[in-house]
Structure 1
């Protein structure tokens, strides 16, 4: 199999389109305003379908427990908030009479989810710490390639003296993923020292391993360099300038009725956690830590997302230079394929970014059921906040909902036909095979097949071009892809993403009656934006044997359909 190359993003700039990616950043003066999918140039149907799925997952299915008690979904595109929806409950469970576990509250005591419900962001908090660090880099107070021990001397313990700030931001320090600081240390100060002096699991720079300890360390580094605690730095440098009024650590108890409850915890014995940070280590560090602890709303996170799309500025307040934003969304982990990471953001992670995945798609998830995805190519973002650990972390993952929301937004963005009013679309169903076929009688001397092709798929979801003389035995048909000066030969199959452009394809057909088939085969998990075929033409010299634009009835489609976008 040969996969598509991923050339640099080209200009285009038509709102509502997936196949015309933007260059650079949105104008710094772009402000969010409420709109609708249709007014933003989007197809409402995929978004509505995704929201229906999000709602459905608040309820049990057979013997399966619900994925979460409630959720808030907010989608934005090109400076417009096109969806803001709440479903389910922010508080649904309490402790049973024996104090041994969760039980559903009476209906009149449950608290419905609201669009302004405040959520424990869990690891999405890491983005705030990363921003603080990048602000210190801009001021010349911290060097990305300076050893952390320069600022936090005790960090040098156990062979960590050369580990840099950049390695901590990209999770390549060699730290283990996690340590039970809350149970091994007796005070916040002792627990912090346990994190800073922890032993490595791998040699520095040798491995990508996502670790809370990296951001705990960077939070303390920021404290040492400035003399200010992390919560103060986040407030002064991020939430106050951006007017994110419901975002911060240790929320005011007066806001508790608006806060989504999380888990019933027995170790530590905290009961139903509601209004304080869920993460045990962050809780044991008095609620302020570099890896977790921030609470926020969907609308506040939308402001943060648009700030990044604007290149670091919003409503006249600049929190980062464009160069810093670029560093945060540039992959510095080329040595660890599949673990793309900028200086703070995860990049191109199809497991929760779905059809918006690409080299310029950034995001983060949180253990409590939160996620943010920012697609710079389409200037779109998807925010899904759930309380999936309410009442138990063991009830399951909300990854299907994360993917559904992002896929809904991706499918709402159009892929414009290259010829006429529509193009053939493969669909984006997991674990499926869809086919598009046409018959042709090729004279002696052969013929040329030409068509336009748009491919945005997971690498393991392949489009095959095939030929058969009997409709039973199929042979891959080699083809050539031309795109803006490049020419790439393929063995009869293609997959890939990150390009978001139409390509021109040609293939040579042998003589004789035959069926030409486009077959799209997907595996059980993860989708891209899909495959489009348009402008199919088969010629023998000057003779046109098939013109797909004139005779769409010549095709037999199974799972494919004609689409105008």
Structure 2
């Protein structure tokens, strides 16, 4: 692989056919470190091929970013296996699942915070009065963002509720499982609530607000809630819904689907190009470099450094995971202080500001029948990528 200076504005791809899969390795225009040697990503590719061969996921798209450029792109396997086989492609659109939380909802919330619309330690019920029901009056916005609210993981799906209004009533009336601040419980309800908060304070729907103030400034044209039908041919399907209908372009998460596909915890669809744009813009803004990321550097620092209650060992930023039992995606080599998040459908993004690196893995691991598992894949790819980017000295 060759690195071309930014001035040439070149983007070159080298395509290899390996075990029935396509690997794409590319160099984008290089903003920094143009003379660094190309990292050896053979360990990453071996693990990605293994994942497809052993059925951890039907296919995978992976991007490794470092020092201001995408240093590795890989595409393996299939986008769909039923009703007919379709090859995975770099531009495949994925249901991002819980990556919606840090990528969309948290920055929407923090943009409103920058405008002085609330304080992070304000009670949620100051802005959503109904939220005080069932003993929630002391839960703060910071509790929601860090998953220290004490709320249970999910809304009750045993009853056939439907629509945003029904979800709002359920959310406002839910009872905590434990006192706020006492322990880490990863909860979709936290970010469903934050989605309602964005809508209340902005007067806009969450998807409209996110498109105007997050996605559009970043140039993320292949990212949105409720993808149009024209996107369906390159959208990765997930699994059959309750009626046996294969979900494709409809959000997999049942609560978000019942809410119409727009919710603070799930509903974003995106692809590798857009997520790489996002990741690099986030790293650049955090470091104080020129960036289109629509928040200030100090705000990004709050989102990506430990903000959980004092003395608690599960480390969470305002939206991003730092060190919890969900952090195996960090691998064995990226240090504490890096951050990231995963999505139930098989998506993940981990970022290390110290080395100006990120690892993006996009799969639809639930396709076709909900049985894939990419937990180990995420760990192993992050480890191999970090080894390639910072090889042992001597």
1:466 alignment partner in structure 2: none
CA contact (8 A) 2:96 2:268 kept: yes
2:43 alignment partner in structure 1: 49
CA contact (8 A) 1:259 1:275 kept: yes
CA distance in 1, matches of 2:86, 2:35: 33
2:390 alignment partner in structure 1: 414
CA contact (8 A) 2:191 2:264 kept: yes
Q: Is 1:329–2:304 an aligned residue pair? A: yes
Q: Determine helix, strand or coil for the equivalent of 1:163.
A: coil
Match of 2:274 among 283, 295, 300: 300
Aligned pairs (5 A) from 1:251-262: 251-262=227-238
What is the CA deviation profile of residues 456-484 of structure 1, one whole-angstrom value per residue up to 9, with x for unaligned ones? xxxxxxxxxxxxxxxxxxxxxxxxxxxxx
Q: CA deviation at 1:364?
A: 0.3
CA contact (8 A) 1:355 1:411 kept: no
Aligned pairs (5 A) from 1:402-481: 402-414=378-390, 417=393, 422=394
CA contact (8 A) 2:130 2:172 kept: yes
Q: Residues 135 and 190 of structure 1: is their aligned pair in 2 closer, same or farther, counting only changes over 3 Å?
A: same
Q: TM-score when scaled to structure 1? A: 0.61
CA contact (8 A) 1:181 1:195 kept: no
Q: Residues 170 and 318 of structure 1: is their aligned pair in 2 closer, same or farther, counting only changes over 3 Å?
A: same
Q: Residues 69 and 40 of structure 1: is their aligned pair in 2 closer, same or farther, counting only changes over 3 Å?
A: farther
CA contact (8 A) 1:58 1:70 kept: yes
Match of 1:114 among 75, 82, 89: 89
Q: CA deviation at 1:181?
A: 4.1
CA distance in 1, matches of 2:127, 2:160: 25
1:289 alignment partner in structure 2: 263
Q: Determine helix, strand or coil for the equivalent of 2:285.
A: coil
Q: Residues 89 and 416 of structure 1: is their aligned pair in 2 closer, same or farther, counting only changes over 3 Å?
A: closer
1:33 alignment partner in structure 2: 29
CA distance in 2, matches of 1:135, 1:213: 21
CA distance in 2, matches of 1:183, 1:244: 37
RMSD, aligned CA: 2.2
Q: CA deviation at 1:249?
A: 0.3
Q: Residues 40 and 247 of structure 1: is their aligned pair in 2 closer, same or farther, counting only changes over 3 Å?
A: farther
CA distance in 2, matches of 1:74, 1:38: 18
Which has the larger Rg? Answer: 1
Structure 2: 5+ residue runs without aligned partners? 1-26
CA distance in 1, matches of 2:218, 2:158: 33
Match of 1:280 among 242, 251, 254: 254
Between the two structures, name the one with larger relative contact order (CA 8 Å, sep ≥ 6). 2
Report which of the two has the higher share of strand.
Answer: 1
Q: TM-score when scaled to structure 2? A: 0.87
Match of 2:70 among 65, 75, 81: 81
CA distance in 2, matches of 1:175, 1:145: 17
Q: Residues 270 and 291 of structure 1: is their aligned pair in 2 closer, same or farther, counting only changes over 3 Å?
A: farther
What is the CA deviation profile of residues 149-181 of structure 1, one whole-angstrom value per residue up to 9, with x for unaligned ones? 111111110011121100000001110011234
Q: CA deviation at 1:56?
A: 2.1
CA contact (8 A) 1:133 1:142 kept: no
1:23 alignment partner in structure 2: none
CA distance in 1, matches of 2:231, 2:391: 43
CA distance in 1, matches of 2:335, 2:323: 5
CA distance in 1, matches of 2:56, 2:270: 21
Q: CA deviation at 1:48?
A: 1.4
Q: Determine helix, strand or coil for the equivalent of 2:135.
A: coil
CA distance in 1, matches of 2:59, 2:36: 27
CA contact (8 A) 2:28 2:71 kept: no
Match of 2:337 among 351, 360, 370: 360
2:283 alignment partner in structure 1: 309
Q: Residues 192 and 181 of structure 1: is their aligned pair in 2 closer, same or farther, counting only changes over 3 Å?
A: farther
Q: CA deviation at 1:182?
A: 7.6
CA contact (8 A) 2:60 2:77 kept: yes
Q: Determine helix, strand or coil for the equivalent of 2:53.
A: coil
Match of 1:241 among 184, 202, 217: 217
Structure 1: 5+ residue runs without aligned partners? 1-30, 61-65, 95-108, 423-565
